Structure 1
């Protein structure tokens, strides 16, 4: 019995000791005198920064000029003067369909024209001396004109057998070989002018008033993740689609290196006029549901959690619409270990803080140490 009473008394004394210690510890704030050392965090001073809103869309690339080169006549390919992927100039001979028959017909028509022209000149001289009737001269003039028309006709037919490039560009895959029989419409190769690429994309009609010719556009492709292409709006479709309620916008992008090809999927950012805003790295936000807050630092290096209203977002950054003012200092790294009332040891941005996050890299304003 005595042993049980002693055990109960010892347990009660231990409980009182622990309760007293807990009350004493709770009386001293964390990070304050006599408590844990101040938390090492990264701090940034809020300053207005340039911000450009953008309208995002998906677009498809198109060549500046594009055509499928085809045959116009039934003929056998005599010679192919290009290889797949060749860069060609306007007027360059690509495929020769000419045969000996067409060349012979052209020579015959040329000879007939020259003979008719010679007879016309002779009759013209005789008519001047009134040795030939005027009607005979007119008849010979008609014969000469008919011979010339025949020669031009054969020459045009021969020209249909000499297939040339209509503009400067890059050829696609060759689809014919010497000796092949082609018919009207037989594809020979695709020809694309890719010095300038067009990108068509759809934008909701609510943004129609914010789009204009000459507006800056940037685009990215999954095929070239490290490249950002710069272009501008060239035109808008004359109609809004009544089903999707969107308007098609066409932008042009210089493509001097030929990196872009027709048919590529592009992520397009239609940039709006620049404005000044207060912005923070997204890592500085403490997000609970739809509510967002940050830790503001006062002159005594004590943090206070304040609610903020978030605006637009971009890569790694967020616009602060309400809750902060220029000159406020905000913790941008190390927020997980903080609570209101704690004293901190602020470090400039880019200095190792020993926090659970690595220093944020991005386009926000540089941090300022106190």
Structure 2
């Protein structure tokens, strides 16, 4: 029993000594001199930049930005008609060939008109008799040999004879089917000697000198649409070719089902490269801003219905920046890029990754890849920035039509306006004059 008591006392004494030593060790830094305490503080100050959170940043770039919208549409002829007879009859003449150009007023189909022509001759003979009787009665009335009633009756008979002649001529004219306008005839469905019933299809006539492209845009673009604006048209049937349409008409009625607006554009097709019914991809161009400020889309932080960015300003040394939260107003968006209308200036640096590490304004941060970001922003407008801001994206071998629409609108639009050089007036010149004048001014209003 005595040995157990001794062991317990020794263990208690050991625990007490260890506890005292630990307490003394913890209190030791507080008892050092001021010179010894200043050294760790100096080392902490020199390594403060290393402890600052690291973020990725990019500079505000200035580039040309096109305000546009994509849609799909269909091509149709400026004028299109399917010829149909108003009366029944047998075909006696066919004065056109399939796919041949026809002129306005040209006789295309002649139906059997023997009976109507005989009726015309009969009406002419009756008219001659009525005219002679009326003239004779006029002379007799002047000599007072007949009453005024006889003269009135002869005048009425003359008008009846004139009406019969007009009716016979109109009936005969309905058997002549002529071209209502200049165009190209389609493929006929009839042959010489066929008997046609009234309303039967004969052939279609298409005016292809100008093509209409009909498409629809969401109702939010109604304030931007104007007559005379330009639109770039791409066709799946003609890859690699770009056509320019001029907005000619805007439907005043908004479709209640799709909440969209109908738009019609006019394309100069005097080279006859387009055909009605083609599927078209339309890029409507509302305007162009040459000094647009753009930043990466991931730099914008939405909060409470507002848009913010974290702007970086110069810090105490070269490797440190001070973070400031700035409210901005955004404009046009492109894949990976967004326009800043208000809040930033060209060359400003904003955080693109690591915003969650910035806990307060005025916090020092370190910027990763600062040299590469500085080189991209120092040159102002770089080719890569232009390609992204215009919608084509960086280093994409085969961009999608939606992504490359803005780039083609800025590059190919002026070329396509002057690409077609054919004789004769431009069929879309009425609207194109206003659109091209606004384009030469630098901005499509």
Q: 1:358 to 1:221 in 2, by over 3 A?
A: closer
Residue 292 of structure 2 corresponds to: 277
Structure 2 gaps, min length 5:
1-58, 299-329, 349-367, 384-394, 399-403, 409-445
Q: Deviations 1:110-130 (Å, cap 9, x if unpaired)?
A: 111112112211221222222
Residue 73 of structure 2 corresponds to: 59
The answer to whether the aligner puts 1:168 opposite 2:194 as a matched pair is: no
Question: Aligned match of 2:107 in 93, 96, 104?
Answer: 93
Distance 1:141 1:92 in 2: 38
Query: CA contact under 8 A between 1:58 and 1:266: conserved in structure 2?
Result: yes
Residue 260 of structure 2 corresponds to: 246
Question: Aligned match of 1:259 in 249, 256, 273?
Answer: 273
Structure with greater proportional helix content: 2
Q: Deviations 1:50-102 (Å, cap 9, x if unpaired)?
A: 22121000011122222111011110011011111222222111111133222
Q: Report SS of the residue matched to 1:104.
A: helix
Q: 1:69 to 1:310 in 2, by over 3 A?
A: closer
Q: Deviations 1:180-234 (Å, cap 9, x if unpaired)?
A: 0001100111112222222221111122222222222111111222322212222
Q: Report SS of the residue matched to 1:82.
A: coil
Q: Report SS of the residue matched to 2:81.
A: strand
Q: Report SS of the residue matched to 2:239.
A: strand
Query: CA contact under 8 A between 1:53 and 1:312: conserved in structure 2?
Result: no
The answer to whether the aligner puts 1:116 opposite 2:130 as a matched pair is: yes
CA RMSD, 1 decimal: 4.6
Question: Aligned match of 2:217 in 203, 206, 210?
Answer: 203
Note the 1:339-350 alignment, pairs <5 A: 340=369
Distance 1:56 1:168 in 2: 33
Query: CA contact under 8 A between 1:213 and 1:234: conserved in structure 2?
Result: yes
Residue 208 of structure 2 corresponds to: 194
Query: CA contact under 8 A between 1:310 and 1:318: conserved in structure 2?
Result: no
Question: Aligned match of 2:172 in 158, 161, 170?
Answer: 158
Note the 1:353-364 alignment, pairs <5 A: none
Alpha-carbon offset, residue 240 of structure 1 = 1.9
Scaled by the length of structure 2, the TM-score of the pair is 0.55
Alpha-carbon offset, residue 139 of structure 1 = 1.6
Structure with greater proportional strand content: 1
Query: CA contact under 8 A between 2:229 and 2:247: conserved in structure 1?
Result: yes
Query: CA contact under 8 A between 2:68 and 2:287: conserved in structure 1?
Result: no
Query: CA contact under 8 A between 1:196 and 1:254: conserved in structure 2?
Result: yes
Distance 2:396 2:131 in 1: 91
Paired residues, number:
295
Structure 1 gaps, min length 5:
1-44, 288-308, 329-338, 351-356, 365-370
Larger radius of gyration: 2
Comparing 45-54 with 218-227, greater Cα deviation is found at 45-54
Distance 2:215 2:270 in 1: 22
The answer to whether the aligner puts 1:221 opposite 2:221 as a matched pair is: no
